[in-house]
Amino acid sequence: MKIIKNILISYAHGMVIFASVFYFMTAKPNGTMPLHWYFLNTLWSLSYLVAFPALRLLAPNFSKVRVKMTSLTTKSLNLDDTTRKNKSRLYHESISPVMNQLDIKGHSNNRDDGTSLAADMLLSGVFIAVSIPALLVVLIKKVS
């Protein structure tokens, strides 16, 4: 059951990148997508459907990579220096008299979460692209 769960999680992680790259590889310039199996889209499909989940099962280090982005705005809002607390609060309240500091922090954290998700998806796409050679390396290391 745990293996099936890990396979489904790996499919969910790479689904958006797989679908977009597959579309860009097979679509014509006018936007229509006749499905013809070429070497590249077959290799891309095999690496997504077979090699990527197998690599995540055999080498769990690939499944634990998460990108956590923190912008400078979030870092500056989370400063908790007691010597400058009053000046910092006055500055942040003077920047936006409409929104309080908690709302600004919330918006900044939401932007950071979206950026982290986009970077994580791109990293999953890179892992899909290199999953067949990486799987071969992992299998050779396991055998020897």
Token readout for 19 is: 């679908």
Structural domain of 40: 1-144
Q: Can you say whether the dihedral through the CA atoms of 93, 99, 100, 101 is positive or negative? A: negative
Model pLDDT, residue 69: 85
pLDDT tens-digit map of 1-58: 888 988 888 888 889 999 999 999 999 889 888 888 999 999 999 999 999 999 888 8
Question: Which DSSP state fits 78?
Answer: T
Does the pTM exceed 0.85? no
The average pLDDT across 97-122 equals: 84
Instruction: Please give the backbone phi and psi of residue 120, each rounded to the nearest 5 degrees, phi first.
Output: -65, -40
Helix then strand count (H, E) for the chain reads 7, 0
pLDDT tens-digit map of 83-108: 455 666 666 555 666 677 777 888 88
Mean pLDDT over the full length of the chain = 83
Number of domains in the chain: 1
- At 82, the pLDDT band (50, 70, 90 cuts) reads very low
Model pLDDT, residue 86: 64
pLDDT tens-digit map of 61-71: 777 767 888 88
Beta-carbon contacts of residue 31 (< 8 Å; ≥ 6 apart) = none
In one letter, which amino acid is 94? S
CA 40 to chain centre: 23
